[in-house]
A and B are shown apart, each in its own frame.
Chain A
């Protein structure tokens, strides 16, 4: 069913035009996944969860849901636009599940099923708990503040009884609310104390609990000052920060999960009776026969048992030239079949394939990265002991000075309340939320909360070549040197073929006609008659030309008895690669190139892009070793790569970036995934993360300054609940406004919406 047969839908993909459709992204890929193995069945109801890429607007919702409901048998379809998750429910068995993904593909969206068993619940329980706590704290803050303001405004005029009434009402609201809303902090502080550590939550919990108990005591003792409002307001502000931080992490995790779901593709297995079934990759066993159509990716390591074809190995080895595969050749998981149908026999299951070895290297790298301590936590480590000793000194000081136990405790608690890290708790999350939001608009996904901080610290940037700095496919190089018409003729032959070099000729020539009687001879070339003359496009020997002795990728065209024409191909750098590298150098980063490709090709690219440090023919292990070496010599390395061979180094690097066209495992290992042609977003990511770091440090500096002013007041007993409330809300507001400044600035570049997910 093509899109023009779906009623009421003319255009592919997002109707807003912000997103390219799946069709325009994957012209040569037949990437329709049969979701059968991922359907879960309970009480006769079938459910399926799919990640849908490219849905961005109201039009997408109605387009997708209408198309799904129009399928025979589907009872319910609901698209969650925030998460890109489509849930389907149906009862009947008349529906062929592949129709679902095919229909989505036909209307222009790429979809991948979620594994219901492996997928942890999407339900964001922690986020809801925080929101509930935030709601309760907000309610308590507003109402207690109402009562407190009247106490302050009443001042001396308010009678003892009225003040008692106000305090009594405040206590009834504040105590249960604070105990409820403070649970996330109490739990975390308790855990830290149990491990004999002190985190930011220890002073927070202490301040809240002491403020409450002191206020209750004062209330019964008939005292004038109560800190009920301070306790709940503190929690309210901190919960905002906590919720923002949580949401950021959760979104990052969801993005990572979406990318991983692209990995759980299905494959086509040939049964013993030669019928074909769809299996989940994890169910493939050694010895299974698998069918690979052009565009399919080998799911496991194996051996070719039938057919011959050209394959794209660039994601596995970094080699840019297509490789010919025929019977008895080894094929690695991740290799993409390009031109003809292949049958392979699995020689390893998924856990034992090359990809799984790389995964283990990734895990090792990620463990080393998890030792990174975030800026806010580093600040807390300095801050906590200082504040606690100050409070203790205040207590002893007032006792020695003879102020009495009650006054001493009051002032010590005032110190704890006024220094409470409200601004610190908000400072970092607010900046990070604004920064990731801005990057997201430019088509850059940030996959971990502290990735921005790590990117801002980077001093060296290491690039992979094939597919990262270069386009990753052979391009026609000597177009201008070709005789007139020969490109058109070559293209009219090449249009019938899926060979990578043929695709390059067609790309260079654009739309046109197909030679009427063109025939492809596998492994040799294409023949047709043009104006009564025989024309051949293919290898040197086949067309009767003398092969030149350089190692360039070539193809020959011979028409009739004229001299054969040589077409030269090579992988070209992205248009913006040179300017991006210049910009990065300008930003003070040193640039290096590490490639698995051949020496001469790498040298040429490096010279073209003015990169002086480069290494060629580097194996994945060598890449990791090289990165380790750089790290040991004091560099904070940012790694940019797209291939499976880069994956271990992506995980090992201080911070890593990966294009949206990268291998799934690479995207999973990278901290940033940028979804556009070219490398332009890297500059944007570096700029924004450096700005974000600056804002965070500014906010910390402000918080320190504010404390420097407020602490003497508290120590010497001048702080009243009114001053505490003003100071606290004021500082939190300033910190948040400073974070929001980050969303302003030069607009993201125009390429930002050219989203390319998967490959």
Chain B
């Protein structure tokens, strides 16, 4: 049973990691434009050749 003394904190730690990741994503604005995020993955950034400003952009 002493294994629980390690396992419970480990389980909690993993849970906290998930929570921190979620809060981080929320603060970074990842939930501001869910539809755009779904669409942007389809865009070919490599093909776009244009002004310097365009090449500076990275999403």
> Interface of A with B (CB < 8 Å)?
57-58, 61-62, 66, 69-70, 74-76, 79-83, 124, 128, 131-132, 135-136, 139, 142-143, 146-147, 162, 165, 169, 173
**What sequence of 0s and 1s flags, for each residue 2-37 of chain B, a beta carbon within 8 Å of any chain A beta carbon?**
001100100110011011001100100001111110
Check if B8 sits within 8 Å of A82, measured CB to CB. Answer: no
Query: Smallest CB–CB gap between B55 and chain A, Å?
Result: 10
Check if A82 sits within 8 Å of B4, measured CB to CB. Answer: no
Check if A169 sits within 8 Å of B8, measured CB to CB. Answer: yes
Check if A81 sits within 8 Å of B53, measured CB to CB. Answer: no
Check if B16 sits within 8 Å of A139, measured CB to CB. Answer: yes
- Taking each of B36, B43, B48, B54, which has the highest tally of chain A beta carbons within 10 Å of its own beta carbon? B36
Check if B35 sits within 8 Å of A165, measured CB to CB. Answer: no
Which residues does chain A contribute within 8 Å of B36, judged by CB atoms?
A: 61, 79-82
Check if B34 sits within 8 Å of A69, measured CB to CB. Answer: no
Check if A142 sits within 8 Å of B15, measured CB to CB. Answer: yes
Which residues does chain B contribute within 8 Å of A169, judged by CB atoms?
A: 8, 12
| A57 touches which of B12, B39, B53 (Cβ 8 Å) | B39
A-B residue pair count with CB separations less than 8 angstroms = 71
Which residues does chain B contribute within 8 Å of A66, judged by CB atoms?
A: 48, 50, 54
Take A83-B33, A135-B22, A135-B23 as given contacts and tell me if A61 and B39 are in contact as well, using a CB distance cutoff of 8 Å.
yes
Bound: A752/B42 CA distance, A: 25
Check if B50 sits within 8 Å of A58, measured CB to CB. Answer: no
Which residues does chain A contribute within 8 Å of B48, judged by CB atoms?
A: 62, 66
Check if A76 sits within 8 Å of B57, measured CB to CB. Answer: yes
- Taking each of B1, B4, B18, B53, which has the highest tally of chain A beta carbons within 10 Å of its own beta carbon? B53
Query: Smallest CB–CB gap between B28 and chain A, Å?
Result: 11
Check if B39 sits within 8 Å of A173, measured CB to CB. Answer: no
Which residues does chain A contribute within 8 Å of B54, judged by CB atoms?
A: 66, 69-70
Check if B50 sits within 8 Å of A70, measured CB to CB. Answer: yes
- Chain A residue nearest to B39 in the complex (CB): A58
Check if B26 sits within 8 Å of A132, measured CB to CB. Answer: yes
Which residues does chain B contribute within 8 Å of A132, judged by CB atoms?
A: 23, 26
- Chain B residue nearest to A172 in the complex (CB): B12
Check if A165 sits within 8 Å of B4, measured CB to CB. Answer: yes
> Interface of B with A (CB < 8 Å)?
1, 4-5, 8, 11-12, 15-16, 18-19, 22-23, 26, 31-36, 39-43, 48, 50-51, 53-54, 57
11 contacts between A and B (CB under 8 A): A58-B43, A61-B36, A66-B54, A75-B53, A76-B57, A80-B36, A82-B33, A82-B35, A131-B26, A132-B26, A146-B11
Bound: A139/B14 CA distance, A: 10
Which residues does chain B contribute within 8 Å of A79, judged by CB atoms?
A: 36
| A69 touches which of B11, B18, B42, B51 (Cβ 8 Å) | B51
Bound: A83/B36 CA distance, A: 9
Check if A61 sits within 8 Å of B40, measured CB to CB. Answer: yes
Check if A74 sits within 8 Å of B53, measured CB to CB. Answer: yes
Which residues does chain B contribute within 8 Å of A165, judged by CB atoms?
A: 4-5, 8
Bound: A139/B48 CA distance, A: 42
Which residues does chain B contribute within 8 Å of A131, judged by CB atoms?
A: 26, 31
Which residues does chain B contribute within 8 Å of A81, judged by CB atoms?
A: 33, 35-36, 39
Which residues does chain B contribute within 8 Å of A57, judged by CB atoms?
A: 39
Bound: A62/B36 CA distance, A: 11
Check if B43 sits within 8 Å of A62, measured CB to CB. Answer: yes
Which residues does chain A contribute within 8 Å of B43, judged by CB atoms?
A: 58, 61-62
- Chain B residue nearest to A147 in the complex (CB): B8
Bound: A640/B4 CA distance, A: 66
Check if B42 sits within 8 Å of A143, measured CB to CB. Answer: no
Bound: A242/B8 CA distance, A: 31
Query: Smallest CB–CB gap between B21 and chain A, Å?
Result: 10
Which residues does chain B contribute within 8 Å of A74, judged by CB atoms?
A: 53
- Taking each of A61, A74, A124, A146, which has the highest tally of chain B beta carbons within 10 Å of its own beta carbon? A61
Which residues does chain A contribute within 8 Å of B11, judged by CB atoms?
A: 143, 146
- Chain B residue nearest to A168 in the complex (CB): B8
Bound: A69/B45 CA distance, A: 14
Query: Smallest CB–CB gap between B3 and chain A, Å?
Result: 11
Which residues does chain A contribute within 8 Å of B50, judged by CB atoms?
A: 66, 69-70
- Chain B residue nearest to A161 in the complex (CB): B1
| A82 touches which of B16, B26, B34, B53 (Cβ 8 Å) | B34
- Chain A residue nearest to B34 in the complex (CB): A82
